[in-house]
A = this chain, B = another copy of it.
Amino acid sequence: MDKAKIKVQDFLARVPLFNSMGPEELSRIALGTTELRVERGGQIFQRGDPCVGFHQVLYGQVKLSFTSVSGVEKVIELIGPGQSFGEALMFMGSPYIVSAQATEDTLLLHVSKPVIYREIHHDAEFACKMLAGLSQRMHSLMCDMESYALRSGTQRVAGYLLKELGEPGDTELTLPVTKAVLASRLNLTPEHFSRILADLSTQRLIAFKGRRINILNAEALRDHAGY
């Protein structure tokens, strides 16, 4: 067994989808897995490209987005370490309907479709894990749709900041992407997003400088988020 293969297996063992697998199963998956290093700004795939597997993020961040004919971009999801994307289209046998671009230096695994199908036929628990993963993704999409349709811009921003805070007691966070990308992710124009941040700052709920945000009054922010 060569060095490269052993490395892919080490990576695979860290992925939730594969972490209950034994060395033999991991070897089988590794045979259909490619390591992919993408620099910040690099394109991973474009809408219309064939989808012959799915991607797993080990570190870094990937932006999935649509772009209209007039060049307007709508960010659908930001995918971080431990998360994956592309399973749905892989199972449908359809080309990509979104584009994927690295927003940081990123390390990805690409796991090919035949390997996944083989494993589903080999192990029902693996099939259940894939079903749970896809269900989780669909759940988030539906929550996003609800939030776009029924929550105000301020509620969405306040909710996002509270979610990004991490540990209870934390008061500081750094936005993981540019404000323009984040605005699109929250279904806001960049101007609207900036106005909301300025409003929250005037009300002394937050203070911000560039991408660093201090939460001054989490309680009041929670009220704004409508929790």
Contact = CB atoms under 8 A, between A and B. Distances in A.
B150 A148 contact: no
A124 B134 contact: no
Contacts of A144: 145
A194 B114 CA distance: 49
A129 B145 CA distance: 26
A145 B141 contact: yes
A76 B145 contact: yes
Contact of A134 (B76, B117, B128, B135): B135
Contacts of A122: 124
Interface string A7-41: 00000000000000000000000000000000000
A203 to B, nearest CB: 22
Contact of A89 (B76, B139, B149): B139
A92 B141 CA distance: 14
A198 interface: no
16 contacts: A76-B145, A88-B134, A89-B135, A91-B131, A91-B134, A92-B132, A92-B135, A97-B142, A97-B146, A120-B127, A120-B128, A127-B127, A127-B131, A141-B141, A141-B145, A145-B145
Q: SS class of chain A's interface: helix, strand, loop or mixed?
A: helix
Contacts of A88: 134-135, 138-139, 142
Given A87-B135, A88-B138, A91-B128, 16 more contacts: A66-B145, A67-B150, A68-B150, A68-B151, A74-B146, A90-B135, A91-B135, A92-B136, A97-B139, A97-B142, A120-B127, A127-B131, A130-B131, A134-B135, A144-B145, A149-B187
